[in-house]
């Protein structure tokens, strides 16, 4: 398996590979996706196998434009049109009622389908060259850290991908916001860079948050799924508690991902600093967690970021990445 620089030539090759039932990893503005022809059940099954993802976990279908939504969804509400006009192409996936002819492999057996138009030139060129929907979950093994660079995809999936298109590091760095418009009321299913308050402003409606999502951000062990996780145990820590933790655990090899604050260095603790800016922090978060994960540490400390809405997607991912540690 090798990595190809994304050019008009390799993008055409990638579209051809998808038509033949192949798997192509490609960059989007959020994270790298593992793409397959969203109408080809055999190709879709290969995604689940490569990721080791349960078959009832639905995939997001990527499209080149909102005009193509009609070929995938029915009863598209005005709210979807309003969001598409305001945001697309964007890190926003919309759940709609699926058309009866849409394959249930891609929807994980559900009668709804998740659709998104990514805001990345390589992704859009590939979608135009392919001409139809590309199902593309993040190109990592199930529950692990999403890839934000082409080399991460190679480390995660190796030979199970036919082609990796390299379009550089992803600009956003955390997965898309997901809004469900298939029911009576808009529901937020995943936090992302597009915030709930922005969606509410465009829709002029409240966007509800299901209990399951609320629980995933509270720090209660056992209530949330582990996801986006490094293999090293990771732990959130308030800035005031960090020096004491480091100084009283000198027998442990540890790493610290700081957020805005400067910490002194210690022989047994590698410090990686990120600024207290949610855009830059999100861009770098997964790559830095990978760097720390590769150091064979006993624990990764993550300085708790601010708790404001612009940090919500980051806090959600960190809560999941550190879930395991808090359980034990
Ligand atoms: P990933 O593709 O890895 O970014 O994850 C896709 C996310 O979209 C998962 O959390 C899915 O549960 C969610 N998703 C995709 N399709 C649907 C759907 N039809 N209904 C609800 N959630 C969905
Ligand atoms: Mg994922």
Please say if the pLDDT value at position 200 is more than 80: yes
Question: Worst-scoring range by mean pLDDT, 52-56, 108-112, 295-299, 306-310?
Answer: 52-56
Residues 196, 239, single domain; the answer is no
pLDDT of 282 > 90? The answer is yes
Is the confidence at residue 298, as pLDDT, over 90? yes
CA 234 – CA 237 distance, rounded (Å): 10
Lowest-confidence range among 57-61, 86-90, 214-218, 254-258?
214-218
CA–centroid distance, 268 to ligand 2, in Å, is: 32
Q: List the shell of residues around ion ligand 2, using CB closer than 5 Å.
A: 138
CATH number at residue 136: 3.90.870.10
**Listed range (1-5, 259-263, 278-282) with the worst mean pLDDT:** 1-5
Q: What is the mean pLDDT of residues 291-301?
A: 96
Which is the closest atom of ligand 1 to the Cα of 53? 3
Range in 100-104, 111-115, 165-169, 219-223 the model is least confident about: 219-223
pLDDT, average across residues 60-68 = 98
> Do 196 and 251 sit in the same domain of this protein?
no
Mutation choice for ligand 1 from 31, 59, 148, CB with most ligand atoms inside 8 A: 59
Specify the DSSP class assigned to residue 176: P
Closest ligand 1 atom, residue 33 Cα: 2
How large a percentage of the chain has pLDDT more than 70? 94
pLDDT in tens, 212-227: 777 654 433 333 456 6
Minimum CA distance residue for ligand 1 atom 1: 137
- The predicted-structure confidence for 73-88, as pLDDT tens digits, reads as follows 999 999 999 999 999 9
The verdict on 198 and 142 lying in the same domain is yes
What is the residue-averaged pLDDT of the chain?
93
Residue 109 zone, left/alpha/beta (φ > 0; ψ -120 to 50; rest): left
Q: Are residues 53 and 178 in the same domain?
A: yes
Domain count, the chain: 2
- What is the bridge-based pairing of β-strands 299-303 and 254-259? parallel
Task: Please indicate, yes or no, whether the overall pTM of this predicted structure exceeds 0.85.
Answer: yes
Q: How confident is the model over 141-149, as a mean pLDDT?
A: 94
**Whether 246 and 276 share a structural domain:** yes
Q: Cα–Cα distance between 35 and 13 in angstroms, integer? A: 14
We report the CATH number of the domain holding residue 320 as 3.40.50.11030
Which residues are within 8 A (CB) of 269 and not within 5 positions of it... i.e. 6 or more apart? Answer: 246, 254, 255, 256, 301
Q: Is 222 a domain residue?
A: no
Atom number in ligand 1 closest to CA 114: 16
Residues spanned by the domain of 310: 234-327
Q: What is the Cα gyration radius of the chain?
A: 20
CA angle 69, 75, 80 (to 5 degrees): 55
Least confident of 239-243, 261-265, 268-272: 261-265
What are the structure tokens assigned to 145, written together?
Answer: 């850290």
Whole-number Å distance, alpha carbon 47 to ligand 2 midpoint, is 12
The set of protein residues with a Cβ atom below 6 angstroms from ligand 1 is 57-60, 95, 107, 110, 112-114, 137-138, 175, 178, 189-190
- Determine the pLDDT at residue 264: 87
At 267 the three-state DSSP class reads coil
Residue 223 confidence (pLDDT): 36
Q: Do 211 and 240 lie in a common domain?
A: no
Q: Is 328 a residue whose pLDDT tops 50? A: no
Cα dihedral: 241, 244, 248, 254 (round 10) = 60
Q: Comparing C-alpha atoms, which of 37, 57, 135 is closest to residue 93?
A: 135
What is the number of the ligand 1 atom nearest to the C-alpha of 138? 3
Residue 112 CB neighbours (<10 A): 18
Res 228 pLDDT > 90: no
């Amino acid at each position: 398996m090798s990595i190809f620089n994304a050019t008009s030539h390799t993008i055409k090759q990638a579209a051809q590979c998808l038509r033949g039932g192949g798997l192509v990893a490609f960059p989007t503005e959020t994270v790298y996706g593992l793409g397959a022809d969203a109408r080809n059940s055999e190709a879709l099954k290969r995604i689940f196998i490569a990721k080791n993802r349960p078959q009832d976990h639905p995939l997001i279908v990527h499209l080149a434009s909102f005009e193509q939504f009609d070929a995938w969804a029915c009863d598209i509400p005005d709210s979807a049109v309003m969001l598409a006009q305001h945001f697309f192409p964007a890190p926003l996936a919309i759940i709609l009622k699926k058309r009866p002819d849409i394959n249930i492999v891609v929807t994980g057996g559900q009668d709804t389908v998740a659709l998104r138009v990514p805001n990345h030139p390589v992704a859009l060129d590939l979608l135009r060259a392919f001409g139809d929907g590309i199902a593309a979950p993040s190109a990592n093994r199930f529950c692990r850290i999403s890839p934000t660079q082409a080399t991460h995809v190679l480390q995660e999936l190796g030979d199970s991908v036919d082609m990796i298109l390299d379009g550089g590091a992803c600009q956003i760095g955390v997965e898309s916001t997901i809004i469900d418009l298939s029911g009576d009321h808009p529901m937020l299913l995943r936090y992302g860079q597009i915030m709930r308050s922005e969606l509410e402003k465009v829709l002029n409606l409240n966007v509800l948050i299901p209990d399951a999502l609320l629980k995933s951000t509270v720090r209660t062990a056992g209530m949330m799924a582990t996801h986006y996780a490094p293999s090293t145990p990771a732990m959130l820590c308030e800035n005031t508690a960090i020096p004491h933790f480091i100084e009283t655990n000198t027998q442990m090899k540890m790493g610290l991902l700081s957020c805005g604050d400067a910490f002194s260095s210690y022989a047994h603790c590698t410090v990686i600093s990120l600024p207290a800016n949610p855009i830059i922090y999100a861009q770098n978060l997964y790559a830095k967690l990978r760097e720390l994960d590769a150091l064979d540490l006993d624990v990764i400390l993550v300085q708790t970021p601010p708790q404001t809405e612009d940090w919500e997607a980051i806090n959600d991912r960190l809560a999941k990445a550190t879930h395991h540690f808090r359980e034990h």
